[in-house]
Every structure is written in structure tokens, then in C-alpha cells.
A = this chain, B = another copy of it.
Amino acid sequence: MTGLHTTLARRGLMFILSSPSGAGKTTISRMLLGADDEINLSVSATTRPRREGEIDGIDYHFVTPDKFAAMVEADDFYEWAEVFGNRYGTPKGYIRKGLKEGRDFLFDIDWQGTQQLKQKDDQDVVTVFILPPSLDELRRRLESRATDSEDVIDRRMDRARAEISHWAEYDYVVINDDVDACFVKVREILHAERMKRQRQTGLIPFVRELMG
């Protein structure tokens, strides 16, 4: 009990990062997953066929369209969406088990997925919106990928504006004008949220023992 760095049992959290494409969300996510052992990327279920090299249960939970439909029917998803004819969703079961065991889950989802998730479980969800410093900068970042035509980039910019319009639905907002500084801020949010009283399930037994 008196050892250094007492670690108490805690309930995990669902950590949502949203941003327009090009604002650095994927980079920040990777940095966070690399720096922190207690958080993992949530694994979606999908009806999309498995591609070469993809592993069931790691990249996705691959399920048949019938199975997916049955899971929707049974309210087994926190959120789901259809993209280009394939369905993607976050299955509740393994997340719930992980949260109880004190593991955190990182979600890289848009404002619609975020709304659905908060609807299902607001208590365990922490939402962070990453803003680009400017739209010019965002366009530069999209253009520097150099794989897309001007038309595609215009459409991505429209989608970026639509995504940004939902910034005010998030708990925290961070401007990514420097990726390292942005990462530090996002990690501070994660660390602070872990110290919220309600998440520290080990506090009640700890204080009981403390008081004797």
C-alpha cells in the first residue's frame, strides 16, 4: 500500500479523435498507440471481404452481411455505418469487457460515429476534435500526398468543412499547428481523464483500507 506509484484499478475509457482528413488525426493516433500500453485501437466488424495480409480480429472482425444485420438487430453495435456498399461497426461485447478490465480504446471516427457512440454510452466516452490551423494549410497537406486530382481534393475540402462544422459537439478541441505539441496535448487529455474520480474504481477499497 505504501509502495511508490500506487496503481489502482480503474475503468477504461473510449477515446475518440475526430478531425477533417489531413488535420493529422492518423499521425496523432499512431503516436498515442505507440507511446501508451493501456490504449488500443478499437477493432471494427465489417462485411467487406478480407484483403491479402489482413488478419481477422486484428485488422477487422470479418463477418457476413447476414451476421452484421443480425448484430444491428440485436443492438450489438455502439455505432455502425455503410461506406461504398460495405458495413462497418463497433461491436459492444469486447469493448465492454475491456473497459471493465481498465483498458482504453482509441476511436478514429467522424462526427456521425461520435454521436452514435455518445448516445449508447456517454459516461465512458471522451471526445477530442483536432482542428487544422487553417484551410490553406489543410489543402497543402492534402495536395502534398500528391495522389489525388484537383477535383478529388476539392471534394475532400468540402467534406473537411462539413466535418469541422461539428467541432462544438466535442469535449476537447486541439489545434494541430505542430504535430509534436498536438500529440503532447492529446496525451495530457487522456492522462487527465484517467484520473477522473469516477473512473478510478479502486479508490473505494483504497480509501477503506487507508481509513482502517
Contact of A4 with B by CB under 8 A: yes
Shortest distance from the beta carbon of A177 to any chain B beta carbon, whole Å: 5
Q: Is residue A58 within 8 Å, beta carbon to beta carbon, of the partner chain?
A: no
- Confirm or deny: A70 has a beta carbon within 8 angstroms of a beta carbon on chain B: no
- Docked-complex contact B200 and A173, CB < 8 angstroms: yes
Taking A4-B181, A185-B195 as known contacts, 8 extra A-B pairs with beta carbons closer than 8 A to each other, sorted by chain A number, are A6-B133, A168-B203, A172-B196, A173-B200, A175-B206, A185-B191, A191-B192, A192-B192
Majority SS at the chain A contact face: mixed
Taken together as a complex, chains A and B put the C-alpha atoms of A161 and B134 apart, in Å, by 52
- The distance in angstroms between the C-alpha atoms of A161 and B212, with both chains bound, is 10
Interchain CA distance A3-B206 in the complex, whole Å? 47
Chain A 162-176 residues near chain B, CB threshold 8 A:
164-165, 167-168, 170-175
0 or 1 for each of A126-169: is its CB under 8 Å from B? (1 = yes): 00010111111100000000000000000000000100110110
Complex formed: what's the CA distance from A26 to B1 in Å? Answer: 23
Measured CA separation A8–B211 after assembly (Å):
44
A2 touches B161 (CB 8 A): no
